[in-house]
Chains A and B, each alone.
Chain A
């Protein structure tokens, strides 16, 4: 009796094992195919299309696009407005990530090291600007820089620096830096949160033994925190570079529309203008691909640098 049972049980057991290693093909297909299909239609194909279009003279008007290969790319470097946008973007990329990350790091360090009772409150407040709509950020900061009812000019004249007041966004020498300040204000708290998490991951013993050795706060930041966070600093730098290229589009669209006289035109905003105002789709795509390449190369380079520093 028991023998019979055992023989009956044994094969079914093997069967279960058999089906398991045979993979549930239908289930896998059901789970992946819809998602993958949508990705192809709305992400992969448009990306490939963008690439192809950048070699054509496509406009919004006609359907027969001529293949002109690299002409769009060559034209870019004779296009004064493009050069201006490129330099503006570079200026932002040089300034915004470094300052944003430095502020984020210092804030994170202060919050984790000095165990102030209200540090949860500070973290919430600093993080808040990074989750609100960039359109809102752009509009609010337009009022900070507003010539006659702006917060900045008002503060300046109240502390006796009235001669420094100016129409910040209307002045081509300051407008781009207003965009930079807005971007920094908006993102510093976001990176602070990442750094807080990373610093919390460092063993407190390390800091304690440094204190016993007589290291001050500044020393601890420079000699312990920054070296130990090297990896995440590298990663956040890439994120911030990509973010600057991307987010500057929205801030510029809302705050200045690229003006005055192209003073705040950035790559993606110029691409948008070329595509939807001038209907130069082919040329616009060449700008988009070029911008994408810049962010690829930069992130590749910074990955390489952080890896080398590590090894």
Chain B
């Protein structure tokens, strides 16, 4: 009885020690965001007198300035269209090849799979110069469609890796049943495999969409005209400009604007994201 009480007390102490540590970690993780959020509602004079005080009133005009004057609205639309296009293209191209590579053994199938595994190492930054020259030789620089295609292509290895892992665990019974009912291969892919693989497809789609939304190096190199830039590039430019101009409040508002879609996607799809990272990571 006595030792039991003691162990319970120890457990409570241990739990509170952990909790205090975790709360401290939470503050470290969140404070920069909170500071930014508060700053986005202050006027410039308020911010410059004391960057740490609470805002006296909510200056929503910062957001209006960020959206209109700093062209964040424009960048925002560019990024959204780009992300939707690239993600759709990625899924349409990657689901069939992952399916075929896991279900059929044909000449070169093993080699193709190995090729994609090796390509996981090739990151956009390494090949951005030859990609720039390649796109230039097609006369497609400053073309948002082109950028979208390249985004999708560079995501192939990861997507094929995750999806083929997922499809391998799907039993063949459904497909065989559908084939006996007279479905062709294409019918099986669209009506049987795609619905079954939906969790995998959603995970790949979300992770990729987030990657596209945040992508910086390629957008920096392949897009030149002001009106076609994406959010990360536009934001980095704005930050560069604000070092000398000093409409800080509009910059903070812009930062919050960029975060909103990410937060929404995060809230909706946290489960898939966490699953995707666990699955993708464990298999390396």
Given contacts A50-B126, A116-B22, A131-B210, contact A254 B236 (CB under 8 A): yes
* A118-159 near B? 1/0 per residue, CB < 8 Å: 000010111111011111101111111000010100100000
Q: Is B133 a contact of A235 with CB atoms below 8 Å?
A: no
Cα(A24)–Cα(B153), bound, Å: 25
Q: Decide yes or no whether B195 CB sits under 8 A from chain A.
A: no
CB closest residue in chain B, given A42:
B153
B283 to chain A, nearest CB (A): 8
Chain B residues whose CB sits within 8 angstroms of the CB of A49 once the complex forms? 130, 133-134
**Interface-facing stretch out of B13-21, B57-65, B197-205:** B13-21
CB closest residue in chain A, given B120:
A242
Q: Decide yes or no whether A53 CB sits under 8 A from chain B.
A: yes
Q: Is A249 a contact of B217 with CB atoms below 8 Å?
A: yes
Q: Decide yes or no whether A278 CB sits under 8 A from chain B.
A: no
Partner of B217, one of A47, A114, A242, A250: A250
Given contacts A49-B133, A50-B126, A116-B22, contact A235 B33 (CB under 8 A): no
Q: Decide yes or no whether A55 CB sits under 8 A from chain B.
A: no
Partner of B106, one of A23, A134, A151, A232: A23
Chain B residues whose CB sits within 8 angstroms of the CB of A238 once the complex forms? 284
A123 to chain B, nearest CB (A): 8
B243 to chain A, nearest CB (A): 9
Q: Is B35 a contact of A135 with CB atoms below 8 Å?
A: no
Partner of A239, one of B189, B258, B281: B281
Q: Is B22 a contact of A42 with CB atoms below 8 Å?
A: no
CB closest residue in chain B, given A288:
B126
Chain B residues whose CB sits within 8 angstroms of the CB of A174 once the complex forms? none
List residues 187-222 of chain A with CB under 8 A from any CB of chain B. Answer: 189-190, 193-194, 196-198, 217
Q: Decide yes or no whether B52 CB sits under 8 A from chain A.
A: yes
* A89-124 near B? 1/0 per residue, CB < 8 Å: 000000000000000000100110010100000101
CB closest residue in chain B, given A232:
B282
Partner of A193, one of B51, B123, B127, B274: B274
Chain A residues whose CB sits within 8 angstroms of the CB of B1 once the complex forms? none
Given contacts A32-B100, A288-B129, contact A133 B121 (CB under 8 A): no
Q: Decide yes or no whether A172 CB sits under 8 A from chain B.
A: no
B269 to chain A, nearest CB (A): 10
Chain B residues whose CB sits within 8 angstroms of the CB of A143 once the complex forms? 32, 35-36
Partner of B134, one of A38, A42, A110: A42
25 A-B pairs with C-beta separation under 8 A: A23-B104, A25-B106, A31-B100, A39-B153, A43-B156, A47-B122, A50-B129, A107-B25, A110-B21, A116-B19, A116-B22, A131-B210, A131-B262, A134-B214, A134-B216, A139-B251, A140-B36, A143-B32, A149-B48, A154-B52, A193-B281, A197-B282, A242-B123, A288-B127, A299-B121
